[in-house]
Amino acid sequence: MSDQPPSAPANGSPQAGPPLIVNVQYVKDLSFEVPGAPQIYATLRTPPAVGLNLDVQVRRLPDAGSTFEVGLAIRAEGHESQADGRPDTSKPAIFIAELTYAGVFTLNGIPENAVEPVLLVECPRLLFPFARKVLADATGEGGFPPVMLQPIDFVALWQSRRNAQAQAANEEPTGAPN
């Protein structure tokens, strides 16, 4: 066994670096509002039921080659609860929290067929715990129980997006006369 770290492959060419680099991560956008304040704090008797929407947004940075911005866009709306515990969206929102938590990632030597799953599954998986904390802190500081996001299955989210895109492509008219 050698004490030397492997610095180059056997063919002598230097390694390109790690396949995925997290350059920076940040709160890109954060909004928290309580439309019925301050009265809502006096009249609310039970914790709000929260409805969530989550989207993964990816864009290639201009003039940056294989560097991408990946964002988790989360919208959480607190409403009074229905009998089944779901948010009653027929009534005004108690609070609205919108968060886009993003990161800049560089991909090195990742095969073309793996780029999409890395950007839409692995990168959001790395960002998620930080976005979860920001959302919990914002709702907690807003005077409500912190919204604690449950783990997200980003593989299922990605597959659902791909299926929806494939279905939309199949439904597009071909432009050929009948």
Could you list the residue range(s) of the whole structural domain that residue 116 is in?
Answer: 20-148
Query: For 88-118, what is each residue's pLDDT tens digit?
Result: 899 999 999 999 999 999 999 999 999 999 9
Contacts of 167 (CB under 8 A, 6+ apart): none
Q: Is residue 108 part of a domain?
A: yes
Instruction: Measure the CA–CA gap between 76 and 98, rounded to whole angstroms.
Output: 6
| Predicted pLDDT of residue 2 | 47
CATH number for 134: 3.10.420.10
Q: Is residue 87 part of a domain?
A: yes
Nearest to 99 by CA among 121, 62, 127: 127
Q: Is the pLDDT of residue 178 over 70?
A: no
Q: Is the pLDDT of residue 9 over 70?
A: no
Q: Is residue 170 part of a domain?
A: no
Q: Is residue 154 part of a domain?
A: no
Return the half-sphere exposure (C-beta side, CA atoms, 13 A cut-off) of residue 5.
3
CB 59 within 8 A of CB 69: yes
Q: Is residue 50 part of a domain?
A: yes
Which pTM was predicted?
0.82
Q: Is residue 79 part of a domain?
A: yes
Query: For 121-138, what is each residue's pLDDT tens digit?
Result: 999 999 999 999 999 999
Mean pLDDT over residues 4-20, rounded?
Answer: 57
Q: Is residue 166 part of a domain?
A: no
Instruction: Measure the CA–CA gap between 54 and 73, rounded to whole angstroms.
Output: 6
Q: Is the pLDDT of residue 174 over 70?
A: no
Q: Is residue 43 part of a domain?
A: yes
